[in-house]
Chains A and B, each alone.
Chain A
Amino acid sequence: MCCEQHKHEIGRFLDDELTPDAHAKISEHLKTCSACSRELADIQELTSSISDSSRVTVPSNLWGSIKHRLDAATCEKPAKPPVIRSPLVWSRRWAMAASLGFALAIGMFVLSLTNSPAQASAIDFGILLDALPLDAQKAFQKFLKLYDAQPGSPSDAKKFAPSLDFETPQTLPGGFALKSVYLLQFGNRPGVAATYGRDGEFLATIFHPPVEKESFGTHKDYPCAIGKHHGHKVEIGSWKMVHLTDPTTCHCVLSQLDETSELPAVMAAVAPRATTSHAHGHE
């Protein structure tokens, strides 16, 4: 057994947290005490095993998520401390404006216009793509959360985003069944997403207004052909996120489908009136 009176000091000795005098005393003691030497070796082995040299990379979209929540808090309630709530919840905003008075309502409205997240000039897919290989559905839920998704029906989606041209059919070619439809907010512009399932296989669609920039984090975006159209895609393992953009709508399909066999029919079902035959520029 280790000398109990020295046990505490051995840890500090190893961590280089003793005064020079105390360090020297323990050093001398270790020369003559085999029990304490063993204790030192044991702690050394344990602590070196605890040390972890694996590299952890900060997800590329983490700041985007924080900024989004900061912006949402600023839009919702500029007073300190900010309360983190979903942005652009108009009914709540107007209710607050009514209680605070007309002048404050105007002020907040102006503020909301100037501080809305990104004004739909950029969409960050990094949060979705980073986590895709681990759990696609969970990754998709994170993306939905980032853009304040609210559940809805296909008809809600049409009313919510009348400027977008898209379809959310009950079934897709290949036997995918519609699971959920979501209404999204890209800044102050609407978007729509839908999820489908086929024997446990996940597929999702996202429709958003054409934007100045789509961020894919560290993932590379390549041009590709989807049936008669030219689009672009990001591939991560077996997953593909394929985009087809026309002047009104960017149609995205996230799936594991082959892009030459099954995917063109699915894209045609969700973007039947897509007019583009050329890829639009994306960063």
Chain B
Amino acid sequence: MKSVTEQDMVEGCRRGDREAQRELFEHTSDRVFRLLVRLTGSMDDAYDLSQDTYLKGFAQIDKFDGHASVATWLYKIAVNEALQFLRRAKSTRLKLQGAALELDTNPVDTTAVRLDVQAALAVTDPSDRAFLVLRYQDRLDYRTIAEIVGCPEGTVASRLSRARDRLRKILQKSYDSREENNPALHPRGSR
């Protein structure tokens, strides 16, 4: 059930009430902006995409049917905006890929593994990244992810499984490549 506050905000936004729009922004911007930073890897891009998300959300507020929370609905817009942006910005992706391959850390170290995974995440397919970020960074359940992405819950499970596999392959490739260049880095062998 939606709270009165959320209904009020939505109704206000439908009337174009700037104060209601600001309220909705205040209630949701923390999550929306963080999601966009995680998806794009860039504060600047997240800043621009956040603007686009809210402008689109306010313009299309009449399409909000209350089936999910308004935050989830904005999340859906944000994910779409980010995916469209990432597909256009392939050069950015290549830059991130370069950064990932340049990481010169020992994966035996926990912090280094975390850094490697974050770098590998940045070069995964944007769609895979969206599933992984929504589940393992935003900790959303499958039902909410399904609503955001617009697919059945079963598909969320299979997409996550595939995304994890692809991420592991990227990491494995990165470790193998570094081990070839410097076997002393990995006394335990490849992971």
Taking the closest CB of chain A, its distance from the CB of B150, in whole angstroms, is 18
Q: Are B50 and A51 in contact (CB under 8 A)?
A: no
Taking the closest CB of chain A, its distance from the CB of B21, in whole angstroms, is 7
Cβ of B76 within 8 Å of any chain A Cβ, yes or no, is no
Secondary structure at chain B's binding surface: helix, strand, loop or mixed? helix
Which residue on chain B has the smallest CB distance to residue A68?
Answer: B51
Interface-central residue, A7, A47, A65, by most chain B CB under 10 Å: A47
Please tell me the number of chain A residues within 8 Å of chain B, measured between CB atoms.
35
Known: A11-B160, A49-B117, A62-B33. A138 touches B44 (CB 8 A): yes
Cβ of B132 within 8 Å of any chain A Cβ, yes or no, is yes
Cβ of A17 within 8 Å of any chain B Cβ, yes or no, is yes
Cβ of B157 within 8 Å of any chain A Cβ, yes or no, is yes
Q: Are A8 and B158 in contact (CB under 8 A)?
A: yes
The stretch among B3-11, B22-30, B179-187 that forms the contact with chain A is: B22-30
Interface-central residue, A47, A49, A59, by most chain B CB under 10 Å: A49
Taking the closest CB of chain B, its distance from the CB of A65, in whole angstroms, is 6
Q: Are B55 and A62 in contact (CB under 8 A)?
A: no
Q: Are A46 and B164 in contact (CB under 8 A)?
A: yes
A109 to B95 alpha-carbon distance, docked (Å): 47
B contact residues around A73 at 8 Å (CB): 55
A47 to B38 alpha-carbon distance, docked (Å): 15
Known: A51-B136, A52-B38, A80-B59. A7 touches B161 (CB 8 A): yes
Contact with A along B151-182 (1 / 0, CB 8 A): 00000011011001001100000000000000
Q: Are A62 and B160 in contact (CB under 8 A)?
A: no
Cβ of B118 within 8 Å of any chain A Cβ, yes or no, is yes
A contact residues around B136 at 8 Å (CB): 47, 50-51
Q: Are B157 and A62 in contact (CB under 8 A)?
A: no
Please tell me the number of chain B residues within 8 Å of chain A, measured between CB atoms.
43
Secondary structure at chain A's binding surface: helix, strand, loop or mixed? helix
Which residue on chain B has the smallest CB distance to residue A50?
Answer: B136
Cβ of A30 within 8 Å of any chain B Cβ, yes or no, is no
B contact residues around A81 at 8 Å (CB): 59-60
Taking the closest CB of chain B, its distance from the CB of A23, in whole angstroms, is 14
A contact residues around B149 at 8 Å (CB): none
Q: Are A46 and B168 in contact (CB under 8 A)?
A: yes
B contact residues around A42 at 8 Å (CB): 168
Cβ of A220 within 8 Å of any chain B Cβ, yes or no, is no
Q: Are B157 and A12 in contact (CB under 8 A)?
A: yes
Interface-central residue, B47, B50, B133, B141, by most chain A CB under 10 Å: B47
Which residues of chain B in 79-115 are interfacial with respect to chain A, using CB atoms and an 8 Å cutoff?
A: 113-114
A95 to B139 alpha-carbon distance, docked (Å): 51
Cβ of A40 within 8 Å of any chain B Cβ, yes or no, is no
Taking the closest CB of chain B, its distance from the CB of A66, in whole angstroms, is 5
Q: Are B117 and A66 in contact (CB under 8 A)?
A: no
Cβ of B73 within 8 Å of any chain A Cβ, yes or no, is no
24 CB < 8 A contacts A-B: A12-B157, A17-B142, A45-B113, A46-B168, A49-B118, A50-B118, A50-B133, A56-B33, A58-B33, A59-B33, A62-B25, A62-B29, A62-B33, A62-B47, A63-B22, A65-B51, A69-B51, A70-B55, A70-B58, A80-B59, A82-B55, A82-B59, A131-B44, A142-B47
Q: Top 7 A-B pairs ranked by shortest CB distance?
A: A49-B117, A50-B136, A81-B59, A56-B34, A58-B33, A49-B114, A47-B136
- Interface, chain A (partner B; CB < 8 A): 7-8, 11-12, 15, 17, 42-43, 45-47, 49-52, 56, 58-59, 62-63, 65-67, 69-70, 73-74, 80-82, 84, 131, 134, 138, 142
Q: A7-B161, A50-B136, A67-B18 are in contact. List 15 more A-B contacts (CB 8 A).
A: A15-B142, A15-B160, A17-B157, A45-B113, A46-B164, A49-B114, A50-B137, A58-B50, A62-B47, A62-B51, A63-B22, A63-B25, A67-B21, A67-B22, A69-B51
